[in-house]
Amino acid sequence: MSPSKKSPLRIEWLERKSNSERHLILLTAIVCVVAVALAIALGVVVCKMKSDADDVCLTPGCIAAAATAMSYMDTTQDPCDDFYEFACGHFIKETIIPADKFSVSTFSQLSEVVRSQLQLIITSEVEANASRPFKLLKKFYDICMNTTAIEQDGLKTIKRALKDLGGWPVLEGPLWNEGAFDWKLSTYKFRKFGFSTSAFLSFYVTSDDKNSSKNAITIDEASLGLSREYLVKGLEDKIVKAYYEVLVDIAVIFGADRASAVREIKEVVEFQIKLANICLPREKRRNATALYNIMTVEELQHDFPFLNWMEYLQNVFDVPGIEIPYDEPIIVTVPKYFPELENLLGKTPKRVLSNYMMSKIVLPSTHFLTAQLRDRMTEYHKVLSGQLERPQRWKECTAFASGSVYLISSALYVKKYFAEKSKMHAEEMVSDILVEFKKILKSVDWMDDVTRENALAKADSITTHIGYPDELLDTKKIDKFYMMLDDSSDNYLLTGKAIGLFFLEYRLKQLREPVNKTLWIDHARAAVVNAFYSASENSIQFPAGILQGIFFSDSRPNYLNYGGIGYVIGHEITHGFDDEGRQYDKDGNLNGWWGASTQEAFLKKAQCIIDQYANYSVLDQNLNGVNTQGENIADCGGVIEAYLAYMSWVERNGPEKKLPGLPYTPNQMFWVSAAHSWCSVETKEFLKMQVTTGVHSPDRIRVLIPFKNSEYFAKDFNCPLGSNMNPAHKCKVW
């Protein structure tokens, strides 16, 4: 694209200022506020800004917001040329990635604040009458922090577990008993101990896609241990080679002979490459209908007799009191995977299969083990993501403890840190943005009337979860939930396995329970800086953790809030109508409710998005427009919905004042605020990984393309048609 001309709306006097001069402008605004306050007390006016003071917000909240905006922006950049640099340029220049991170973003910065707050909660003094869940929270943190005990135990516990599970052949050498190995029996043992059973088949209980009011068993392809996108490239790929090398070194640390490890682990990775090649690529996993294949246990046995399915299901499920009959309906995602798996298993030596299964135990367990193993994993992550060091121990332990008993950590967090008025304000914004989305549904000219009616019904049926569920503050309910959590061990690894088993069995027990789509337990992760859409629930969720900071504040103008959290709200709403979400109806059921002509029109518009993003490259690698299309559609639609909602808010409430020291209109600052949600710096390795395996586009692209696709943005910044930020060709779904 050719460089654009400078926007007529650029304010040159501010751009010519140095950082110190801009700070002086801000200081002047602060002094002015103090003076105005004194003037009110004395009944005189002592200060007036050079600009019209009536048009500038001088509250402390506005001054703080202006200071934050200035610290992010590089106003020497032309907003019509590269808006990401304009909005985030100073953030990018001034932000250094710490050695224990692979990126720094507005999301991660707020997450660090929340994590520090959680640590303060966890390390506070235990009162005599403290609840058991709070004591568990502290116990799990202390077990994780006790590195002396972890080092003293060394590899004793994990090696004993490996022995009990049949032994890791690369460690056992010629003593390994091949005749006693059966991958199915090993899988059953893994289940009882709390290790993953997904080496060859993934097994889980979730709501039935075509009847979301009930739960069902799903059987899927293997969990590979390394992303398929890497494995299919073979051992010559840099990442696959690093994966191979870390497995070799871990085996040696465990006591294997290096020469044997080099040979046997190579066979393991070669097997994983073959396994990856019979698994579906991500691009083919976006059609939920194609992944929904109902078969009874009896039908599975008839069509795929290589496995005793009743025995397998009973042992992997293994929940007392729940029987699985032969007519149990099973959702099979990829039926053709089974004969290909049978063929691969039949051609692979038992020793390779066992080494592979054991490696899938050992690799994730290193997180719970010695510093030597963790240091070796850090070297691997350096290649994978560019992260140079392990995070500080307290950070890891805070995440472990707070995640393990998330109900109590979330309850304590909202009691201590969450502003209740934020919940009400966010609910109003959700309502406003939903109204605008429904206006879009009513106005698009490519929908037939029946599909439009169904789409509006779905939008009306969206359930919203803001901040936290009320039940989270009920201590008795939290106590009851964790009643059966086994906390008898002081060993870090065994504690982690006990927690994993607790949650696995909690989920499996839901098989015979009717689905409660508003169950508080499933919407109670409050201390999280993120947001979610659930297709099966047709719900959106905005935890307490994200309703603050750069995203939201009651003390600043609404154009910043609609640009910040409003963009996120619009994004999540739009997920219900992206390429995957649109496949589900208002009740969360997989249902072909789209008219043929409307579906064809949607696919054509989605293809425009796919092609548009695929034309962008990062580090000489083009984005995957297919895998990222859902997030891209949500970005492009979400920011427009938030913008229109703010315009409607202004119509009802009147225009808002500008920020001090920043000569940009409220409309322009909406876009700046929306961009600030995605200001980030990343390592090259992480960017490469994100482009290769991620469903989200890189943060820079999440600003540039959605804004380029908006005529409202171009109008607000007066960007000439044909400029970088106002191309003639635009893509739009919603």
Catalytic residues: 572, 635
Place of tokens 């169904």: 454
Q: 293-296 and 211-220 as β-strands: parallel, antiparallel, unpaired?
A: unpaired
Parallel, antiparallel, or unpaired: how do β-strands 293-296 and 329-332 relate? Answer: antiparallel
Q: Alpha helices, DSSP H only, in 514-564?
A: 558-563
Integer Cα distance of 380 and 308 in angstroms: 38
Strands 202-208 and 211-220: antiparallel
The CA distances from residue 244 to 96, 251, 270, 619, in Å, are 31, 11, 10, 24
Place of tokens 């106002």: 726
Whether the Cβ atoms of residue 570 and residue 644 lie closer than 8 Å to each other:
no
What does the alpha-carbon distance between residue 193 and residue 171 come to, in Å, rounded to a whole number? 20
State how far the Cα of 188 lies from the Cα of 61, in Å rounded to an integer: 58
Q: Which residues are CB-neighbours of 634 under 8 A, at least 6 positions away?
A: 571, 572, 574, 575, 578
Alpha helices in 307-448 (DSSP H): 309-317, 337-347, 350-365, 371-385, 393-404, 406-417, 420-443
* Torsion of the alpha carbons at 541, 545, 547 and 550, rounded to the nearest 10: -130
CB 458 within 8 A of CB 576: yes
Write out the two tokens for 244. 């191979």
671 near 7, Cβ under 8 Å? no
Q: Give the pair of three-digit tokens for residue 432.
A: 């406003």
Asked whether the beta carbons of 570 and 638 are under 8 A apart, the reply is: yes
The CA–CA distances, whole Å, from 420 to 521, 541, 600, 605 equal 20, 16, 45, 40
Distance CA 587, CA 576 (A): 11
Residue 495, SS3 per DSSP: helix
Give the three-state DSSP class for 624. coil
CB contact at 8 A, 629 and 610: yes
Rg over alpha carbons for the chain, rounded to the nearest Å, is 28
Q: Which stretch of DSSP H or E encloses residue 610?
A: helix 596-614
Residue 697, helix vs strand vs coil:
coil
Residue type, 252: V
Short-list 726, 712, 702, CA closest to 609: 702
CA distances from 315 to 203, 312, 335 (A): 11, 5, 21
Q: What is the dihedral of CA 128, 133, 134, 138, to 10 degrees?
A: 110
575 neighbors 581 (Cβ within 8 angstroms): yes
C-beta of residue 635 within 8 angstroms of C-beta of residue 623: no
Mind giving me the DSSP string for 98-118? -TT-SEEEHHHHHHHHHHHHH
